[in-house]
C-alpha cells in the first residue's frame, strides 16, 4: 500500500480501517493463515439459553394449536393452567435442557415470588412473537428478571433491583445512540457543551459527540500503559469543572480492559457530592470478566445511566441484546423538571401526543418514545423474542443462586489464557491485577521494538514510517489483522488485540507474526545504518 493511501486510511474510523486490513490479510504475501483479532465478538456461545429458547418456541406452538389448528395456522395462547401444561410438556429424561427449565420454574416461584402462569405466558408469547412489546420499554416480568441479573453480576452487593427501570434495546450500540439523542432533545446537552471521556475508549463515544448533531467539546480523563490503563492520578478531579455536563465511561475499558478500582469509584462518589448535577453514562458490557466487579451505577445511581449488552459474555453479537437502566430518582429527570418554561413548553409539545401529562414522563420513557420518533411510540420496543432471550441468558446465571457460575468462570479462563499466550510470545508486560478483564490487550509496538532491539530501533520506527505502516504490513505480508489504537484515543503505535474471537492456539501465532514483521523492519534498519555509515565515510570530492 502506498504512503498516500496510508495517510488517507488514518482519517477513517478504526473499525473501517480494520475492514480494509481484512481484505489485505486474506491475500497476504506469505500465504499465512488469516488471523483477524480485530473484532470483539467472542468465538464461544452459551448453548443452554438457546436450547431453552427452542423448547419454549416448540411449546408455544403447541399452546397456540389449542385455540386454532388449521393446517399451518395456529391460534392464540391462554394463560390459565399454562404452568401445569408446560411442566407436563417437559421431559428431562429425554431432553437434558428440560432440567434447566424445571430449575427456572422453581426459581421464579421460590426466589422471585412471581406468578408462574403469568411468567410462562409472557415467555411463550414473547418467544413466538405473536404480539407487540407491552409495555414498550420492557416486558413486565422480563424487567424483574433482568434487574435481578444486573444486581447479582454488576452491583457488588448494592440492592437496586426494585428502584431501577430497564429499557431493552437492539444491543448496546442502539442504547448509546438513543441516549445521546434524548439528552439533546430534552435540552440536557447543547452544542458546545463539554463532555468528559475516560480515554482510551470505544470509538463511538469519541466520534458521536463531535458530529454535527452534537458538536460537543471533549475533555479526556486519560489512562495509559504506565499505569496499566488505570485512570491516571488526578484525572478524576477534572470532573469538578462545572462546565462539564456529561461523563462517559466504558468500564472495564475498551480497549484498556481495566475496571475502575475501589479508589476510583470512591473519588467519583466524592465528586458527585460537589457536582450533584453531573450526568454519567457507564457502559459495562465487560463487567462480568472482572472479579468482584462494581459498576459506577451502584456507587452513584442517581446520576448514572447504565448501558449493558449480553453480546460478549454469551456470544450473542448477532442477537443485538442490550439495555439502558436508570434509577427511579435520577438527575436526568431532575434537570428536565428545572428547565426554563420555554423549554418545558417545547417538550410538552414534543411528547404531548403520547403522554397525558408530559411533564411527568420519565427520561427513560422519553428514550423509548424518541427511539421511534415519537409518532411510532405505540410500536416501540425491542422485539419480544429478543427480550425473552435476555431473560434466558439472565436465568442461566440466576438459577446458580449463591454457587459459582461455571460458565462465567470458563469465559474468564479462556480470555485469560489467550492474554497470557499473546503477552508471553511478545515478551510484553502482563497486568495480573483483579481489575483487568483481559478481553483486549493494547500492545505498544514501539515498546516491543525497544525491548527486543533497543532504543535506536524504536526511534527509527517512530520517525521513518506512517502511523499505520506496521498495521498495514502486518495484514498485507503476514495475514494478521489488529486494530489501530489511535481511534480509541491511544498514542500512535498502539494496537488493539481482541482475546475473544480466535482459537486459543492462534494467539501465540499472532505474537510470532508480529515479531517476524519486527525482524523485517529491523533488517531494514540495519541496512539503513550501513548505508548511512557508508555515505558518511565516503571520500568527499
Supply the pLDDT for residue 237: 96
| Mean pLDDT, the chain cut into blocks of 10 residues (541 residues total) | 56 71 85 89 97 98 98 97 97 97 97 97 98 96 98 97 98 96 97 93 88 89 86 93 96 95 96 98 97 97 98 97 98 98 97 94 98 95 98 98 93 98 97 96 96 96 90 92 90 94 96 96 92 67 58
**Alpha-carbon span 198 to 254, nearest angstrom:** 10
| Three cell numbers written together for 238 | 477534572
Q: What is the DSSP string of 230-251?
A: SBPTTGGGGGG-TTEEEEEEES
Supply the pLDDT for residue 11: 57
Burial class (CB in 10 A: 0-12, 13-18, 19+), 34: middle
Please state the φ and ψ torsions of residue 56, each to the nearest 5 degrees: -65, -40
Of 278, 285, 292, give the one whose Cα is nearest residue 236.
278
Supply the pLDDT for residue 242: 96
Length of the chain: 541
Supply the pLDDT for residue 340: 97
Of 322, 294, 288, give the one whose Cα is nearest residue 414.
288
| Direct distance between the N- and C-terminal alpha carbons of the chain, in angstroms, rounded to an integer | 39
Spell 432-447 as b/e; 16+ CB within 10 A means b. eeebbbbbbbbbbbbb
User: pLDDT tens across 24-78, in order?
Assistant: 888 888 888 889 998 899 999 999 999 999 999 999 999 999 999 999 999 999 9
Beta strands in 390-540 (DSSP E): 440-444, 480-481, 483-484, 494-498
| Three cell numbers written together for 498 | 481482541
Supply the pLDDT for residue 521: 95
- What's the 3-state SS for 276-327? CCCEEEEECCCHHHCCCCCCHHHCCHHHEEEEEECHHHHCCCCCCEEEEEEE
Q: How far is CA 134 from the centre of its chain?
A: 26
Please report where in the chains the cell 517512530 appears, as a residue: 462
Q: Name the strands in the sheet holding 279-283, side by side, starting at the edge strand that comes first in the sequence.
A: 164-170, 321-327, 304-309, 279-283, 244-250, 194-199, 217-222
**Alpha-carbon span 478 to 482, nearest angstrom:** 12
User: pLDDT tens across 111-125, in order?
Assistant: 999 999 999 999 999
8 A C-beta contact, residue 427 and residue 450:
no
Q: How far is CA 469 from the centre of its chain?
A: 29
Supply the pLDDT for residue 438: 98
| Three cell numbers written together for 111 | 426466589
Is 440 strand, coil or helix?
A: strand
Give the β-pairing of 304-309 and 279-283.
parallel
Spell out the long-range contacts of 430-434 with Cβ–Cβ below 8 A and sequence spacing 24 or more.
431/228, 431/229, 431/258, 433/228, 434/290, 434/291, 434/292
Spell 137-154 as b/e; 16+ CB within 10 A means b. bbbebbbbbbbbbbbbbb
8 A C-beta contact, residue 302 and residue 169:
no
**Alpha-carbon span 79 to 50, nearest angstrom:** 24
Q: What is the pTM of this model?
A: 0.93
**Alpha-carbon span 225 to 322, nearest angstrom:** 30
User: Which strand (E) or helix (H) includes residue 363?
Assistant: helix 363-370
Amino acid at each position: 500500500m502506498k504512503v498516500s493511501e496510508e495517510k488517507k486510511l488514518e482519517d477513517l474510523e478504526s473499525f473501517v480501517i480494520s475492514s480494509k486490513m481484512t481484505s489485505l490479510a486474506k491475500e497476504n504475501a506469505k500465504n499465512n493463515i488469516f488471523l483477524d483479532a480485530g473484532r470483539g465478538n467472542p468465538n464461544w456461545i452459551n448453548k443452554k439459553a438457546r436450547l431453552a429458547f427452542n423448547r419454549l418456541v416448540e411449546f408455544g406452538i403447541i399452546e397456540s394449536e389449542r385455540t386454532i389448528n388449521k393446517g399451518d395456522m395456529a391460534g392464540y395462547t391462554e394463560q390459565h393452567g399454562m404452568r401445569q401444561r408446560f411442566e407436563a410438556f417437559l421431559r428431562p429424561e429425554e431432553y437434558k435442557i428440560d432440567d434447566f427449565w424445571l430449575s427456572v420454574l422453581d426459581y421464579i416461584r421460590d426466589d422471585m415470588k412471581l406468578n408462574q402462569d403469568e411468567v410462562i405466558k409472557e415467555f411463550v408469547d414473547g418467544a413466538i412473537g405473536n404480539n407487540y412489546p407491552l409495555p414498550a420499554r420492557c416486558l413486565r416480568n422480563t424487567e424483574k428478571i433482568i434487574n435481578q441479573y444486573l444486581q447479582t453480576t454488576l452491583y457488588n452487593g448494592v440492592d437496586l433491583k426494585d428502584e431501577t427501570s430497564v429499557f431493552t434495546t437492539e444491543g448496546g450500540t442502539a442504547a448509546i445512540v438513543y441516549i445521546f439523542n434524548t439528552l439533546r432533545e430534552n435540552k440536557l446537552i447543547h452544542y458546545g457543551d463539554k463532555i468528559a471521556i475516560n480515554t482510551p475508549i470505544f470509538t463511538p463515544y469519541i466520534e458521536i459527540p463531535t458530529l454535527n448533531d452534537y458538536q460537543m467539546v471533549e475533555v479526556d480523563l486519560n489512562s495509559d500503559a504506565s499505569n496499566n490503563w488505570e485512570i491516571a492520578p488526578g484525572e478524576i478531579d477534572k470532573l469538578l469543572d462545572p462546565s462539564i455536563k456529561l461523563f462517559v465511561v466504558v468500564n472495564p475499558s475498551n480497549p484498556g480492559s481495566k475496571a475502575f478500582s475501589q479508589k476510583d469509584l470512591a473519588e467519583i462518589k466524592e465528586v458527585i457530592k460537589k457536582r450533584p448535577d453531573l450526568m454519567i453514562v457507564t457502559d459495562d458490557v465487560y463487567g462480568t470478566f472482572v472479579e468482584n466487579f462494581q459498576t459506577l451505577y451502584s456507587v452513584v445511581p442517581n446520576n448514572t445511566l447504565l448501558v449493558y449488552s449480553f453480546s460478549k459474555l454469551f456470544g450473542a453479537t448477532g442477537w443485538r441484546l442490550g439495555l439502558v437502566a436508570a434509577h427511579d430518582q435520577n438527575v436526568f429527570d431532575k434537570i428536565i423538571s428545572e428547565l426554563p418554561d420555554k423549554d418545558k413548553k417545547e417538550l410538552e409539545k414534543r411528547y404531548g401526543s403520547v403522554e397525558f401529562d408530559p411533564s411527568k414522563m420519565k427520561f427513560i420513557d422519553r428514550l423509548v418514545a424518541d427511539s421511534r420518533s415519537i409518532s411510532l411510540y405505540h410500536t416501540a420496543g425491542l422485539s419480544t423474542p429478543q427480550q425473552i432471550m435476555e431473560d434466558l441468558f439472565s436465568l442461566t446465571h440466576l438459577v446458580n443462586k449463591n454457587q459459582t457460575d461455571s460458565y462465567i468462570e470458563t469465559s474468564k479462563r479462556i480470555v485469560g489464557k489467550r492474554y497470557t499466550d499473546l503477552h508471553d510470545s511478545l515478551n510484553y508486560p502482563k497486568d495480573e491485577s483483579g481489575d483487568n478483564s483481559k478481553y483486549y490487550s493494547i500492545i505498544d509496538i514501539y515498546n516491543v521494538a525497544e525491548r527486543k532491539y533497543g532504543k535506536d530501533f524504536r526511534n527509527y520506527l517512530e520517525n521513518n514510517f506512517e502511523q499505520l505502516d506496521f498495521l498495514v504490513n502486518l495484514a498485507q505480508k503476514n495475514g494478521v489483522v489488529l486494530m489501530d489504537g489511535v481511534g480509541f484515543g491511544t498514542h500512535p503505535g498502539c494496537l488493539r488485540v481482541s482475546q475473544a474471537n480466535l482459537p486459543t492456539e492462534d494467539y501465540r501465532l499472532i505474537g510470532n507474526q508480529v515479531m517476524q514483521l519486527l525482524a523485517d523492519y529491523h533488517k531494514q534498519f540495519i541496512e539503513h545504518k550501513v548505508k548511512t555509515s557508508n555515505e558518511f565515510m565516503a571520500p568527499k570530492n
